[in-house]
Structure 1
Amino acid sequence: MTRFSTLFSTLIVSAGLALAGANASAQTHDHSHQHDAMPAASQDDSNALADGEVKKVDKEAGKLTVQHGPLVNLNMAGMTMAFKVQDPAMLDQVKAGDKIRLRVERINGTFTVTKLQAAN
């Protein structure tokens, strides 16, 4: 009976280790994909401008809707969204359809366009 008990315990421990190893491998694999979508910001990227296209200018709300590429400094993938502008005069510089380069920063919890220029 003791020999059976030892064999059974060994099998249980081995199965547990195999499952733990498979789970750790799966977690490591999934974790690596999180970094593939957006590279980490480096000091060289800290002042980088993103490419974008103006979709809407809302002077009343003080917002600019932009379809933008990756915002590296914010670790944000490209998408279309509305941003507050730091300087309302920025809204007079662009119209829907314009290709632009912009810098967006989080200011007091709000994504805000801090730099805006026409794309070349």
Structure 2
Amino acid sequence: MKRLNLFILIAALAPLTTVAHAEDTRQPASPFDAGISATHHATGKIVKVDGTAGMLTLAHGPVTTLNWPPMTMAFAVQNTKLLDTLSKGQTIDFEFTYDGSNYLITDVQ
């Protein structure tokens, strides 16, 4: 009788353990998918200007709209002519967005 009760208990709990161990296969939400501002603002010091690649490497401060700490990273530049006016060591305020594959600087002040 005890074996029958144990069997019934295990059979009743089996579906619950399957659900508890199911993996969540959803991709983590990007801040850009969550409706957070599509344009972001930061201030940074230019570390490198790469006109050939159309990239600007910046040591930037925090980006509150993305919950980013200060860091150094490379950004693509929407208008590569902008790179002609910038130089290493210069501090800039800039706006950027995400184009699906790159963080893209759209404006510099």
Q: Which runs of 5+ in 1 are unaligned?
A: 1-42
The SS at the match of 1:115 is strand
**Runs of 4+ off more than 4 Å:** 45-48
Counting aligned pairs with the same residue, the percent is 36
Q: Which has the higher helix share?
A: 1
Q: Which residue pairs with 2:94 in the alignment?
A: 102
The SS at the match of 1:104 is strand
Relative contact order, higher structure (CA 8 A, sep 6+): 2
Q: Which residue pairs with 2:52 in the alignment?
A: 60
Q: CA deviation at 1:46?
A: 6.7
CA contact 2:49–2:56 (8 Å) conserved in 1: yes
Q: Which residue pairs with 1:49 in the alignment?
A: 41
TM-score by length of 1: 0.55
* Counterpart code for 1:83: F
Q: Which residue pairs with 1:86 in the alignment?
A: 78
Q: Which runs of 5+ in 2 are unaligned?
A: 1-35
Cα root mean square deviation, aligned:
1.9
TM-score by length of 2: 0.60
Aligned residues: 74
